[in-house]
Amino acid sequence: MSTGYGIDMGTGNLKIYSSADGSITNEKNTIAIVNKDQMYAYGDEAYMMYEKAPETIVVSFPIINGVIADFDNMQTMLFELLESKLKARIKGSDIVIAVPTDITEVEKKAFYDMFVKNKNKARSVLLCEKPLADALGMGLDITLPTGVMVVDVGADTTEISVISLGGLVLSTLLPYGGNKLDDSIVTYLKRRFNLLIGQKTAMSLKEEIGSAMGGLGKSMTIVGRDVVSGLPIEMSVDSDVVYDGMKDDLENISQNIRMLLERVPPELAKDIVASGIYLTGGSSRIRGFSDFITNVTNIRVNVCENGEESVARGLGAVLSDEKYRRFGYSMKSRIFS
């Protein structure tokens, strides 16, 4: 049996499942470039340089809004990680790549070409819709005639899907996620306190003292730049301030979940009410987010443990379980040949 790799190229993180030992490698999906096209660093090392690098080093994210924005550098980073860090042998391996549902066939083909247009030819290259992989990664049997709702809150996108009998009944891809929450925290602190902070600091605030319900009663000391004086200052930020910065975006996500629920056929809606909504993705970890969604939809929410890696685990199921193998498809069978 050949070795298989499940690839989830997320906006924030690149996750790789290896069937050899069932491990998941999780690295920041970040690259640092010098001399316009030479890779200086990638992954966690490159992310450490974000917002700190001089002008000679450009730190960027090759995946934007769930699609490949920088094909060449994404391919270089992916194979560097596979071959150098994981010691993977791509030649003769089976590859399954997760793709968002609501993107074009051309954008999906870019994920497929990542391996097809490489000198190290894999034995097979298949694509798998992300919501299906998400559900499999949470241990759900999506082949049953039962409605399942999965909400994946990623870095740049939020994918809301209803699955039944191994297919997508309804799906919508929102162009915002955890990064938008960070942006909103940055904007709110600048408007209210004349304090300018970076994206990393905003993310730390969200993860350390952020809450979707407010009233957490925690605080965190951060350093930013005073917009008026231009000097660095230290400030203690209360958790309610972070809540005020995020609440509109959290409300948007929750209202979109509600709108999709309003379109669900009655029999499937009954299943969803019985089993609850499944919340996954990196931003599913925000305190009280599940309760916030429940308040809007009146349906309980199940939060996936290690939600950031649920897609990669689901790709592992597609690779290893014959029952789920059919959820991977080749672009050759689509409009491209």
Residues 318 and 300 in one domain: no
Q: Could you tell me the maximum CA-CA distance found in the chain, to the nearest angstrom? A: 65
Residues 13 and 74 in one domain: yes
Residues 251 and 298 in one domain: yes
Residues 169 and 251 in one domain: yes
Q: What is the pTM of this model?
A: 0.94
Answer yes or no: is 52 within a domain. no
Answer yes or no: is 288 within a domain. yes
> DSSP character for 62?
S
Q: Which strand (E) or helix (H) includes residue 7? A: strand 4-9
Please state, in angstroms and rounded to a whole number, the distance separating the CA atoms of residues 61 and 190. Answer: 25
Residue 120 has pLDDT above 90, yes or no: no
Residues 274 and 235 in one domain: no
Residues 290 and 198 in one domain: no
Answer yes or no: is 49 within a domain. no
DSSP letters for 290-320: HHHHHHHHSS-EEEPTTGGGHHHHHHHHHHH
Q: What is the CATH number of the domain that holds 145?
A: 3.30.420.40
Residues 147 and 125 in one domain: no
Please state, in angstroms and rounded to a whole number, the distance separating the CA atoms of residues 29 and 57. Answer: 16
Residues 117 and 192 in one domain: no
Residues 301 and 159 in one domain: yes
Query: Which residues have a Cβ under 8 Å from the Cβ of 238 and sit 6 or more positions away?
Result: 209, 218, 219
Please state, in angstroms and rounded to a whole number, the distance separating the CA atoms of residues 23 and 27. Answer: 13
Residues 255 and 298 in one domain: yes
- Categorize the per-residue pLDDT at 310 as very low, low, confident or very high, splitting at 50, 70 and 90: very high
Place of tokens 């989830």: 8
Edge-to-edge order in the sheet of strand 124-129? 24-28, 13-18, 4-9, 94-99, 124-129
Amino acid type, 120: N
Answer yes or no: is 214 within a domain. yes
Answer yes or no: is 47 within a domain. no
- Categorize the per-residue pLDDT at 336 as very low, low, confident or very high, splitting at 50, 70 and 90: very low
Contact present, 34 and 40 (Cβ < 8 Å)? yes
The count of residues in the chain is 337
> DSSP character for 11?
S
Residue 337 has pLDDT above 50, yes or no: no
Residue 224 β-bridge partners: 233
Answer yes or no: is 217 within a domain. yes
Contact present, 136 and 327 (Cβ < 8 Å)? yes
Mean pLDDT of 55-71: 95
Answer yes or no: is 251 within a domain. yes
Mean pLDDT of 255-283: 97
Residue 335 has pLDDT above 70, yes or no: no
Mean pLDDT of 42-70: 95
Mean pLDDT of 121-138: 96
pLDDT score recorded for residue 1: 52
Residue 215 has pLDDT above 50, yes or no: yes
* Residue 219 structural domain: 178-243
Structure tokens at 186: 């940055």
Please state, in angstroms and rounded to a whole number, the distance separating the CA atoms of residues 159 and 311. Answer: 12
Mean pLDDT of 108-121: 91
Answer yes or no: is 53 within a domain. no
Residue 334 has pLDDT above 60, yes or no: no
- How many domains in the chain? 3
